[in-house]
Amino acid sequence: MREQGLKLFTGNANPKLAKEICEYIKIPLGQATVKRFPDGETFVRIDENIRGQDVFILQSTCMPANDHIMELLIMIDAARRASASRITAVLPFYGYARQDRKDQPRVPITAKLVANLLVAAGANRVLAMDLHAQQIQGFFDIPVDHLYALPVFSNYLSKLRDETDLVVYSPDVGGMKMASAYANILKCPLGFVAKKRTSATEVEASNLVGDVEDKDILLVDDMTETAGTLTAAAKLLKENGARSVRAAVSHGVLNDIGYDRLQTGIIDELITTNTTPVESRGLPITVLSVAEILGKAIMHIHSNESVTGLFEIKGF
């Protein structure tokens, strides 16, 4: 019986990351045609034999989220109909994750709907990184391997900790668990900013809890889009005597509003990853690669090994 091979394919969301992963695990990127018809419909064709193969399809569901989700669903269906042995959807960034509960009357739980669609399309398992809400893992009726970006930040943050008087801050109360994990590993004090959201793009920061005066602040969050939460927190921190404010954000899904806010210089440095494509635009944005940790996870899944060891932090 022929040994089950490993194949990695990608849609159009983040092909650069897919190529980096393939270089790390020393396999060629799978050949597939993913394009649009003139009317906007998505066309997918797997351009090589994958019968009986262990197929991984990488796609961050970032902007434009709906197009990238449809690409992923159609690629999964194409792989299933081409008789792939197992199909793993690799989502470095899981879009719609913020719609994870009914917080108003008559609204959907879209994060659950996307999970249902992935399973219906034919995915056998999911590999994701820093989901906005932990409970999203439970939305799937298939195995979910959930990675954390903290090991990717470890070397960079260890140097920052040694060179500055660092305090880890959560930009809102909801991010305290994540910030606490960073503070514990960095062995730094912890604080948080109380905020009030006034609209989808505007945030008002009001109170601080923790050391600020003459401190170097590291804001920690899972994602930023308009940078409203981060810049409001940074402004309040600097008004209260913070020497510098940096932000470590797993997913930098920045739009034009976010870039405009970073132009103000309130945030001294944004540290993020390439789970989604990030442009620096001449701003102090540091992008760290998740290719190695995702590559290791893919190899572990392919060989049916545990991915728990990938959470070990070096340099602390």
Strands of the sheet with 144-147, listed across from one edge: 6-10, 54-58, 86-91, 125-129, 144-147
| 35 in active site | no
Burial of 26 (0-12, 13-18, 19+ CB in 10 A): exposed
For residues 206 and 272, give the distance between their C-alpha atoms in angstroms, rounded to a whole number.
Answer: 25
**Cis preceding linkage at 92, omega within 30:** no
The one catalytic residue in 7, 112, 195, 215 is 195
Among 202, 204, 201, 259, which residue's Cα sits nearest to residue 233?
Answer: 204
DSSP for residue 136: G
What's the rounded Cα separation, in Å, for the pair 32 and 10? 8
Strand-pair category, 32-36 with 42-46 = antiparallel
Nearest to 50 by CA among 81, 17, 15, 27: 81
* Residue from 222, 190, 225, 191 nearest 205 by CA: 191
Name the token pair of 34.
């993913």
H-type helices in the chain, by residue range?
15-25, 65-81, 110-121, 150-163, 176-186, 228-239, 256-263, 291-302
Q: How far is CA 164 from CA 24, 168, 210, 219, 289, in A?
A: 33, 12, 17, 14, 24
What token pair was written down for 289?
Answer: 């690669």
CA dihedral 74, 75, 77, 80 (to 10 degrees): 180
The rounded distance, in Å, linking the Cα atoms of 100 and 63 is 19
Active centre residues (catalytic):
195
